[in-house]
Chains A and B, each alone.
Chain A
Amino acid sequence: MTSRQTGKRISSVAAEQRRRNARRKGARQTGKNEPLPLGERRQLIRLVACGSIFVLLVAAKLALPAQMERFNEKLSAALSSNMDVQAVFSALGRGLSGDADSAAEEVYQAVFHPAEARETAAQAALPMPQETPAMDALREQREKALVSETTEEQALTEAQAGEQTSQSPTEVSTLAYVLYSDKNLPEDVSLEQAILDFDYCTPVSAPLSSTFGYREHPVEGEERFHYGVDLAADTGTAVACFADGTVTAVGESSSYGKYCMVRHSGGYDTLYAHCSRVTVSSGAAVSKGEKIAEVGETGMATGPHLHFELHRNGVYLNPIYYVSTS
């Protein structure tokens, strides 16, 4: 646009403005209402609509408090209830790869049953627990325990356990429930098999000498809950860090002996006890598989072994699913 054209444009706009002002002035003088321009009318309509909604809601809140409370609850529930969009996208993506039937089912689940879809997606995304020798040992121990029981109730449990043994690997996660379901668990213990969303490794590959759960204490003699697993390795065997994390504690106690704790992502902590030597210091960043200690028999121990615990937000979990034994 040239300067001449610009000047013309500005002068014509100014003249138009003058005419408009004169019309408005005339309208005010004669008392006639000039129709508002379209844009201003729209804004006025919006303002009136918003104001009306506000007044109506305030009036409803004052006049019908109970009904409004129920409405609020319903609205809150509707706002917090959402389909699993990420699962929908993932299912469609998988469908594009070729598995159209299951993709349609997954999309349906993600839209109408998002909670179940999230669980399924998590299980699909993470590897299923593998059958480790440690779990075989646990199974054998359980079978022995069941055989020794003579009461009718325990016979029933045996039947269930026998059925459980013949089930597929995907059902192994319920094994612990079968073992300890008739016991009063400590409050800070969970028998759930957590799905870890990070890479991990076995701290020490060694025979399992004591499992997670109630046992007769080897030193004290009374039945106590054992909050970890014992892996019987020779003194001096390197203890590998379970997963990436930060060392939160290094210490020595009468029961644990020399020990260290590592904080991992997702609120998980691991504890390595009865070590002969801890080779990391508190606050150090450690990575999966890195040597952090050496096996020993310090503290309350009857032989060289690693006592390994897994905690999630302060709750003890069974580490058996995450270790492999030799």
Chain B
Amino acid sequence: MFQRAEGRIRVSFGFCLLTAWFGLVNGWRPLGNLLGAAAVHELGHCLALRCLGTAWKSLRIGVFGAVLETNDSRLSYGGELICVLAGPAANLLCAAVCAAVGRGRWDAAAGANLVLCIFNLLPLRPLDGGRALHLAVSWLAGPAAGEVTARWAGGATGVLLGTAVVWLMGRSGGSLWLLPVAVGAYFQTVDEIFGKQAFL
């Protein structure tokens, strides 16, 4: 595992391998678009944190995506919700700008940002959608309700996502680089349903 000197960015070997695999089978342009979109996404989170006066502690980049952590527990539900949704919002904004300004030249970049935005809004933790759902319900109905909702939504979404990806691989007769996504989705499902239950 690579680690920056300050210990704030961690990139797993699994991520490097998956990135290389994706680049080899799909070409370097889509990989560049995707990594660019991921950078925009994390930048959105960072900017939101900065605006709320909080610094990020670490960025862990693994096979199943990137997780930005902060050591500031003073963030309110609303503030944390803004930070969580800032990533997809940044992607959506970037996609709109690329589509409007690029005049057809930046369609792929716009599409990559859109895909990342939609994927991250799936209600499956640790994706932004899952965390946002947990925060929103916790804010409105209490932490126990938030946990239960996030668990059920995450479990259902994980099963659906994993099955959809497996079906997609079977239907398209390949695209095996999607396999880690399916495996990750099923693992998250198991974790959501059978994992440590803090509020139950």
Per-position binary interface string of chain A over residues 63-91, scored 1 when its CB falls under 8 Å from any chain B CB and 0 otherwise: 00000000000000111111101101111
B193 on the interface (CB 8 Å rule)? no
A291 on the interface (CB 8 Å rule)? no
B50 to chain A, nearest CB (A): 26
B172 touches A112 (CB 8 A): yes
B191 on the interface (CB 8 Å rule)? no
B residues less than 8 Å from A79 (CB atoms): 25, 174, 176
A55 to chain B, nearest CB (A): 22
B63 to chain A, nearest CB (A): 15
**Which partner residue on chain B sits nearest A79 by CB separation?**
B176
A82 touches B175 (CB 8 A): yes
Q: Which of B8-16, B76-84, B99-107, B122-130 contacts A (4 or more CB under 8 A)?
A: B99-107
A242 to chain B, nearest CB (A): 25
A315 on the interface (CB 8 Å rule)? no
A90 touches B108 (CB 8 A): yes
Could you say which of B25, B107, B115 contacts A82, with CB atoms under 8 Å apart? Answer: B25
Cα distance, A82 to B106, chains bound together (Å): 22
Interface residues of B in 148-187 (CB under 8 A from A): 168-169, 171-177
B residues less than 8 Å from A78 (CB atoms): 169, 173-174, 176
Cα distance, A94 to B91, chains bound together (Å): 16
A29 on the interface (CB 8 Å rule)? no
A residues less than 8 Å from B173 (CB atoms): 77-78, 81
B111 touches A82 (CB 8 A): no
Cα distance, A114 to B25, chains bound together (Å): 13
Could you say which of A83, A86, A88, A93 contacts B99, with CB atoms under 8 Å apart? Answer: A93
Could you say which of A77, A80, A93, A112 contacts B107, with CB atoms under 8 Å apart? Answer: A93
Counting chain B CB atoms within 10 Å of each CB, the highest count among A78, A89, A92 belongs to: A89
B111 touches A96 (CB 8 A): yes
Could you say which of A80, A81, A88, A112 contacts B111, with CB atoms under 8 Å apart? Answer: A88
A residues less than 8 Å from B26 (CB atoms): 82, 85-86
**Which partner residue on chain A sits nearest B96 by CB separation?**
A96
B30 touches A85 (CB 8 A): yes
A91 touches B111 (CB 8 A): yes
Cα distance, A83 to B168, chains bound together (Å): 10
Q: How large is the interface on B (under 10, 10 to 19, 20 to 34, 35 or more residues)?
A: 20 to 34
A104 on the interface (CB 8 Å rule)? no
Cα distance, A86 to B31, chains bound together (Å): 9
B residues less than 8 Å from A86 (CB atoms): 26-27, 29-30, 33, 108
A residues less than 8 Å from B33 (CB atoms): 86, 89
**Which partner residue on chain B sits nearest A113 by CB separation?**
B172
A98 to chain B, nearest CB (A): 9
A170 on the interface (CB 8 Å rule)? no
Cα distance, A225 to B100, chains bound together (Å): 50
Could you say which of A77, A90, A91 contacts B174, with CB atoms under 8 Å apart? Answer: A77
B133 on the interface (CB 8 Å rule)? no
A residues less than 8 Å from B174 (CB atoms): 77-83
B110 on the interface (CB 8 Å rule)? yes
Per-position binary interface string of chain B over residues 21-42, scored 1 when its CB falls under 8 Å from any chain A CB and 0 otherwise: 0000111011001000000000
Cα distance, A9 to B74, chains bound together (Å): 28
A111 on the interface (CB 8 Å rule)? yes
A254 on the interface (CB 8 Å rule)? no
A97 on the interface (CB 8 Å rule)? yes
B107 touches A83 (CB 8 A): no
Per-position binary interface string of chain A over residues 18-41, scored 1 when its CB falls under 8 Å from any chain B CB and 0 otherwise: 000000000000000000000000
Can you give 28 contacting A-B residue pairs, CB < 8 Å? A77-B173, A78-B173, A78-B176, A81-B174, A83-B172, A86-B27, A86-B30, A89-B107, A89-B111, A89-B112, A90-B108, A90-B111, A92-B107, A92-B114, A93-B106, A93-B107, A93-B108, A93-B109, A93-B110, A93-B111, A93-B114, A94-B104, A94-B107, A96-B95, A96-B99, A97-B99, A111-B172, A112-B171
Nearest first, the 6 A-B pairs at minimum CB distance are A81-B174, A93-B107, A89-B111, A92-B111, A93-B110, A93-B111
Interface residues of chain B, those whose CB is within 8 Å of chain A, are 25-27, 29-30, 33, 95-96, 98-100, 102, 104, 106-112, 114-115, 168-169, 171-177
Interface residues of chain A, those whose CB is within 8 Å of chain B, are 77-83, 85-86, 88-97, 111-112, 114
Additional 5 contacts, C-beta under 8 A, given A89-B109, A93-B106: A82-B172, A85-B26, A92-B115, A94-B104, A95-B111
